[in-house]
Amino acid sequence: MVCLNGRRKPKTVDILTLFRKVGPVIWPLLFFSFLCLSVILERLWFWLRILTQEKEIVSSVLDAAHDNWGAAKEIAKRATDQPIGRFLYAPLSLPKSNPEIFRLALESTAEHELAQMRRGEKVLELVIAVAPLLGLFGTVWGLIRSLESIRIGDLGTESTAGVTTGIGEALYCTATGLAIAILSLIFYRLFQALVVNQVKVFRKAGNDLEMLYLQSPPEFTNSTGSGTLPQVLVRESPPNTNPPRKKSKNRFSQPPEPPLGSDSSEPKDSQEFNS
């Protein structure tokens, strides 16, 4: 088609024509492309929220921990919608702690949060591995169909021009699969670099919080927030208002006193026997 100025309009790519050239392999490639695009958009939004707020959360919690562990706990609790907030709140939320339990709480929470940050990587790995293979399969299938239509007597004639056109169209499958895989690989490496950076951020924040804990351990409070440890309630007996009684002597504890005028050295029966 020629314009009024004598120049030809640029040829536009029709999506339906592209689908026809790629062949039936376009449908799984289209599915993987939508899957890849959804994961990329979700992860971009996830990392955008983290990178814009985590520095402020870490500095606020550490500054409050220098003076008041209760205030640091409240700040970390309000930031539990972020991974770094949940990481810092885990050891502070313990009712009682020691340095070993404090460190274990930090390590276990860090492992869980970093695993959540790697969500979607397996999907991108699948797309990176499968998309080029699907494109190559479509190209090979197109080549087979094009070469089957060639006849020995038609070699060197104009009838073979359609074969070269079919081979060119078959290569669209490989190009489409490679484009999807390259896009997935770029964002896959980007997300991996962000996770590695988060490992450094978690390690530094955890070390700073642990050093503050070792320098001035927090005083764990009870549920009422009185600032003291809960005391064990002991039921005291009511005071005794009755006067003390005199201790009575046990008549069986001492031998009876002998009567007056009798010899205490011998019993009465022995005296009668001697007389």
Give me the tens of pLDDT residue by residue for the chain, a chain 275 residues long. 445 455 555 455 566 776 666 677 888 888 999 999 999 999 999 999 999 889 999 999 999 998 889 999 999 999 999 999 999 999 999 888 788 999 999 999 999 999 999 999 999 999 999 999 998 888 888 787 777 766 655 555 555 545 555 676 778 888 889 999 999 999 999 999 999 999 999 999 999 999 999 888 776 443 333 333 333 333 444 445 555 555 545 444 445 555 444 444 444 444 444 44
| 59 and 207 Cβ atoms separated by less than 8 Å | no
Domain assignment present for 272: no
Domain assignment present for 235: no
Domain assignment present for 1: no
At 186, list the tokens.
């770029």
**275 DSSP 8-state letter:** -
Rg (CA), the chain: 45
Number of domains in the chain: 1
What global pTM score does this model have? Answer: 0.67
Domain assignment present for 251: no
Q: What's residue 58's pLDDT?
A: 93
**249 DSSP 8-state letter:** P
Domain assignment present for 193: yes
Domain assignment present for 211: yes
Dmax (CA) for the chain in angstroms is: 171
| 146 and 166 Cβ atoms separated by less than 8 Å | yes
Alpha helices in the chain (DSSP H): 15-22, 26-51, 54-67, 69-78, 83-92, 99-117, 121-148, 161-215, 268-274
Domain assignment present for 51: yes
**255 DSSP 8-state letter:** P
Q: What's residue 107's pLDDT?
A: 93
Q: What's residue 95's pLDDT?
A: 84
Domain assignment present for 254: no
Which domain does 167 fall in, by range? 22-149+158-215
d(CA 54, CA 117): 14
